[in-house]
Amino acid sequence: QPELHYHYLSDPFDRQRMREGVRLVIGLMDRRAFKPLVLERTVPSDAQLATDQALDHWMYTTLGTAIHMSGSCKMGPDADLTAVVDQFGRVRGVDGLRVADTSIQPNVVRRPANATAIMLGERMAEWIT
């Protein structure tokens, strides 16, 4: 099994923005317009919202990935310094290594990733064999 480390919230700015987002949503849930839709808030608790440190702890223990990951190994032209692979999935600067999954998508598709993943895998297999 591969071991994946996403490094979520490792940047202080990311933690700050996530705290702001959580507190914004909590504030919206407390508004009169949302009262009929929200029976009660279960998480985060008032104690978890009380300080940045407590909220950070809640975010670290709660945040996770539940969707198909994509876009972490961007495909693009040689001129794009952020592109990791070329149009054939070849990793720049590493001989004999290709990436053939949804991580090469420069942008996340607005649909389930399985069809795109299958297409990428089949296309890359044609180039390799």
Q: Which residue ranges make up each domain of the chain?
A: 12-62, 67-129
Give the amino acid at 121: G
> Residue 70: which residues within 8 A CB-CB, separation 6 or more?
102, 103, 105, 108, 109, 113
Rg (CA), the chain: 20
pLDDT of 38: 92
What's the rounded mean pLDDT across residues 56-84? 90
44 preceded by cis ω (within 30°)?
Answer: yes
DSSP H helical ranges for the chain = 12-29, 46-50, 52-62, 114-128
Closest CA relative to residue 103, chosen from 128, 119, 85: 85
Of 11-20, 72-81, 110-119, give the lowest mean pLDDT range. 110-119
pLDDT band (50, 70, 90) for residue 67: confident
Q: Is 68 a catalytic residue?
A: yes
> One of 5, 7, 57, 68 is an active-site residue; which one?
68
pLDDT band (50, 70, 90) for residue 94: very high
pLDDT of 69 higher than 80: no
Mean pLDDT of the chain: 91
